[in-house]
Amino acid sequence: TSIASSRSSVGKHYVKVTLMGNYSGTKNVYFYIRPGAPKTIKATQSTSWIKLTWDKVNGAAGYSVYRYDTKTSTYKKLKATTATSYTDKNLYAGKKYIYKIVPYGRDADKNVYYSKSNIIIKTATKTKTPILSDYAVYKGKVKLFWTSTSGETGYQVWYSTKKDSGFKKYANYSSNTGYVNNLTSGKTYYFKVRTYIKTDSGYVYSDWSNVKGIKIK
């Protein structure tokens, strides 16, 4: 067996096989070298865009970015880029999206060879920011009301005894109202709310609501 060309570069290569002993003849066996897949992919979000970033792949001349289309149950190509990031714009707030990155390489004759592997990320845009709209005060507790959003998994209420720092999460809620209990009577607490969406790649949080200071009975 002899190697007729380099086996490390992207492209079509072949191995020349020579039979020996009681056999004779030769045969060229072709094979392809293709880029691999990125090891990691990350997403940052707003309510209308998602920015994807991934690590560089050896041998890749560029990367094709695809987004899953739920209507056709297929991936649609968004862009081919030589960068290791891409921002998908004009998206809907509070919606989940699935992307995959497929590297590709070129040989000396500019022929394109796509990776047989890819990396997929399931993420979402942020929901619209909730507004902490109203409250009802009771002895040792308060009931908060905030505006509902679309696409959220739930809401988080955080509180503090300071207006600008020291906030801690109290609880998650599935609707746009909830009680905060075991508070000290006569003391002022500050509250804020955000939404969260649970995805396969982690949680996506909305921006914080306004902060309300409330004195407990």
CA distance 167 to 161: 8
pLDDT digits (tens, 9 = 90+) for 148-188: 999 999 999 999 999 999 999 999 999 999 999 999 999 99
pLDDT digits (tens, 9 = 90+) for 49-96: 999 999 999 889 999 999 999 999 999 999 999 999 999 999 999 999
Residue 10: predicted pLDDT: 67
Averaged pLDDT for residues 16-44: 79
Output the pTM of the full model.
0.84
Listing DSSP states for 145-158 in one string gives: EE---SS-SEEEEE
CA quadruple 150, 151, 157, 163: dihedral, nearest 10? -60
- Indicate whether 7 pLDDT > 70: no
Residue 9: predicted pLDDT: 74
| CB-based contacts of 118, cutoff 8 Å, min separation 6 | 37, 100, 101, 102, 103
